[in-house]
Amino acid sequence: MESSASLELAKHALLMFGTILAAGTFSGLIARLLRIPDVVVLLLAGMLLGSGATGIVNIKADSTINQLIMVFGSSYILFDGGASIRLKVLKEVWITILIIATVGLLITAAITGVAAWYFLGLAPVTALLLGSVIASTDPATLVPVFKQVRIRERVAQTVMSESAFNDAMGAILTFTVLGIAMGTGDFSIGAAVTDLLKQSLLGVFIGGGLGYLAAFLISHERFNFLAEFAPVVTLMAVIGAYMGADGVHASGFMAVFVFGIMLGNQESLGFRLTKTEGAELEDYVMTTALIMRMFIFILLGTQVDFGLINQYLLGGVAVVVVFMLVARPVTVFLCALPDRRARWSLKEMLFMCWTRETGVIPGALAGMLVGMKAPGAQIIASVTFIAILMTILIQATTTKWLAKKLGLLAK
Q: In the chain, how many domains are there?
A: 2
Q: Specify whether 383 is located in the same domain as 347.
A: yes
Q: 151 in helix, strand or coil?
A: strand
What pLDDT is stored for residue 317 in this prediction? 94
Is residue 215, in this structure, part of any structural domain at all? Answer: yes
Taking each continuous run of H as one helix and of E as one strand, the counts in the chain are: 18, 0
CA distances for 411 relative to 172, 295, 349, 388, 402, angstroms: 39, 31, 20, 30, 15
The domain that holds 272 is classified in CATH as 1.20.1530.20
Q: Specify whether 47 is located in the same domain as 92.
A: no
> CB–CB of 137/166 below 8 Å?
yes
Is residue 354, in this structure, part of any structural domain at all? Answer: yes
Q: Specify whether 9 is located in the same domain as 149.
A: no
Q: Which of 10, 25, 60 is the last residue of a domain?
A: 60
What pLDDT is stored for residue 34 in this prediction? 83
Q: Specify whether 281 is located in the same domain as 373.
A: yes
Could you tell me which of 229, 226, 228 has the C-alpha nearest to residue 217? 226
Q: Specify whether 116 is located in the same domain as 29.
A: no
Mean pLDDT per segment of 10 residues, for the chain of length 411 residues? 72 89 93 83 89 83 80 83 79 88 91 94 91 83 80 87 77 80 65 73 88 82 70 86 87 84 81 74 84 87 81 92 95 91 91 86 77 82 88 88 89 71
Q: Which of 19, 36, 60 is the last residue of a domain?
A: 60
What domain range is 325 assigned to?
A: 71-405
What pLDDT is stored for residue 314 in this prediction? 92
Is residue 66, in this structure, part of any structural domain at all? Answer: no
Is residue 65, in this structure, part of any structural domain at all? Answer: no
Q: At what angle do helices 275-302 and 139-148 cross, to 10 degrees?
A: 130
**142 contact partners, CB below 8 Å, separation of at least 6:** 81, 159, 160, 163, 355, 357
Is residue 75, in this structure, part of any structural domain at all? Answer: yes
Long-range contact pairs involving 269-273 (C-beta distance under 8 Å, separation at least 24): 269/212, 269/215, 271/215, 271/216, 271/219, 271/220, 272/219, 272/221, 273/218, 273/219, 273/227, 273/230
Q: Which of 16, 41, 60 is the last residue of a domain?
A: 60
What pLDDT is stored for residue 275 in this prediction? 75
Cα(370)–Cα(47) distance, integer angstroms: 21
Q: Specify whether 56 is located in the same domain as 112.
A: no
Q: Specify whether 253 is located in the same domain as 382.
A: yes
Is residue 410, in this structure, part of any structural domain at all? Answer: no
What pLDDT is stored for residue 1 in this prediction? 47
Q: Specify whether 47 is located in the same domain as 87.
A: no
Is residue 233, in this structure, part of any structural domain at all? Answer: yes
> CB–CB of 332/352 below 8 Å?
yes
Q: Specify whether 21 is located in the same domain as 154.
A: no
Is residue 259, in this structure, part of any structural domain at all? Answer: yes
Residue type at position 401: W
pTM for this prediction: 0.80
Q: Specify whether 21 is located in the same domain as 126.
A: no
Q: Specify whether 177 is located in the same domain as 55.
A: no
Q: Specify whether 33 is located in the same domain as 97.
A: no
Cα(202)–Cα(251) distance, integer angstroms: 8
